[in-house]
C-alpha cells in the first residue's frame, strides 16, 4: 500500500516580516592614539595573534591589519614631524 504524497506549501517571499522590538545597538567608534598603535605593532612583532589584538583594543580585525601595514611608516613620519612630542 503506497502512502499518498502530500505537498507542503512553500512560504511566499516577504509573506511575514519579523518586527524588531528593540533597536539594534551600533558599535562605538574607537579611535586609537599613537601609543596604542605602537603597542599593537610591537605586540604583533612579538607574536601576538591579530584576532586577540582586535579583541583587546575593541577594533575590527581589518583595522589591526591596516595599522600593522601602514603603522610603522606613519609612526616614523609622526616622530620626524614632531620631535618634541611625548611619544618617543
42-68 residue pLDDT tens: 999 999 999 999 999 999 999 999 999
Checking if the pLDDT of 15 tops 70, the result is: no
Residue with cell 614631524: 81
CA torsion 35-38-46-67 (nearest 10°) is 130
Name the more confident of 14 and 80: 80
If pLDDT is split at 50, 70 and 90, which confidence band does 14 have? low
Mean pLDDT of 2-18: 62
Residue with cell 499518498: 4
Q: What is the pLDDT of residue 65?
A: 93
Checking if the pLDDT of 18 tops 80, the result is: no
Checking if the pLDDT of 29 tops 70, the result is: yes
Roughly how many angstroms between the first and final C-alpha of the chain, as a whole number? 86
Checking if the pLDDT of 20 tops 60, the result is: no
Amino acid at each position: 500500500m503506497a502512502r499518498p504524497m502530500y505537498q507542503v506549501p512553500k512560504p511566499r517571499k516577504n509573506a511575514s516580516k519579523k518586527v524588531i522590538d528593540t533597536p539594534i545597538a551600533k558599535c562605538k567608534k574607537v579611535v586609537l592614539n599613537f601609543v596604542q598603535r605602537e603597542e599593537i605593532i610591537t605586540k604583533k612583532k612579538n607574536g601576538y595573534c591579530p584576532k586577540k589584538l582586535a579583541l583587546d583594543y575593541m577594533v575590527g580585525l581589518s583595522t589591526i591589519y591596516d595599522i600593522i601595514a601602514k603603522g610603522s611608516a606613519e609612526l616614523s613620519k609622526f616622530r620626524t614631524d614632531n620631535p618634541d612630542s611625548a611619544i618617543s
